[in-house]
């Protein structure tokens, strides 16, 4: 009896030393030269946890994505974008390449301002590398057509057609900021096709050169 009781006591003691079964997550296979992730034990009684999101490095706030919008000015309910605010003060901006779309917008703005007040001047600020000759001539003709004077101001750069429009301002009302750059060059173009087509294109380029020369403002004589 004593031996049976002693054996039972030893069995109970051994059972108390055995730890409950635990499961382990199997690490994914890694290629040579990469580090294997650390295998962590997982409690079977707990539901699986989602992977933790990467932490943001200290000192680097998470950038908030905001939609792009045109800056506005004003107070209260009277908010308007800056270009409309400048238009109210009769200030126009040419800040890109001259093309048909830009020319249509500028022509429309010139006509509206001339209809509102035919006596007050219009300011045209120019920062343009040039562009289409036909689009630039549309702006030029409108500037000469409206009754009010157009004052031109160069900021940044006025090259090619941009320089031509800068000189299209009213006499004595053409200005340039101290660090602005102005560049004038001969008409550029190319031609391909039959000989007659190339000849027509060459005549058109020469016509544009002569026409621009006549329309450019003449330099003032030195006193």
Catalytic residues: 160, 185
Give ∠ CA 194-199-200 in degrees, rounded to 5.
100
DSSP class of 44: T
Rounded (10°) angle between helices 133-145 and 100-116: 10
**Dihedral-angle region of residue 90 (phi above 0 means left; psi in -120 to 50 means alpha; beta otherwise):** left
**CA gap 28, 32 in Å, rounded:** 13
DSSP class of 128: E
Strand partners, 182: 158
Phi, psi of 136 (to 5 degrees): -65, -40
Radius of gyration, alpha carbons of the chain:
39
Q: How far is CA 120 from CA 71, 123, 177, in A?
A: 27, 10, 23
| C-alpha 68: how far from chain center | 10
């Amino acid at each position: 009896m004593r031996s049976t009781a002693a054996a039972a006591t030893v069995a109970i003691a051994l059972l108390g030393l055995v730890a409950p079964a635990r499961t382990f997550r199997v690490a994914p296979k890694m290629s040579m030269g990469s580090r294997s992730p650390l295998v962590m034990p997982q409690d079977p009684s707990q539901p699986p946890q989602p992977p933790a999101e990467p932490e943001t490095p200290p000192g680097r706030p998470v950038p908030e994505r905001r939609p792009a919008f045109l800056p506005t000015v004003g107070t209260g309910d009277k908010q308007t974008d800056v270009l409309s605010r400048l238009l109210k003060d009769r200030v126009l901006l040419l800040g890109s390449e001259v093309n048909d779309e830009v020319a249509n917008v500028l022509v429309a703005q010139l006509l509206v301002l001339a209809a509102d007040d035919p006596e007050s001047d219009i300011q045209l600020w120019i920062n343009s590398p040039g562009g289409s000759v036909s689009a630039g001539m549309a702006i030029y003709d409108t500037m000469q057509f409206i009754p009010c004077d157009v004052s031109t101001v160069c900021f940044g750069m006025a090259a090619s057609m941009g320089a031509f429009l800068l000189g299209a301002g009213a006499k004595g009302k053409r200005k340039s900021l101290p660090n602005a750059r102005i560049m004038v060059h001969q008409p550029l173009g190319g031609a391909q096709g039959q000989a007659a087509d190339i000849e027509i294109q060459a005549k058109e380029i020469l016509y544009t050169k002569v026409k621009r020369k006549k329309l450019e403002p003449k330099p003032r004589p030195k006193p």
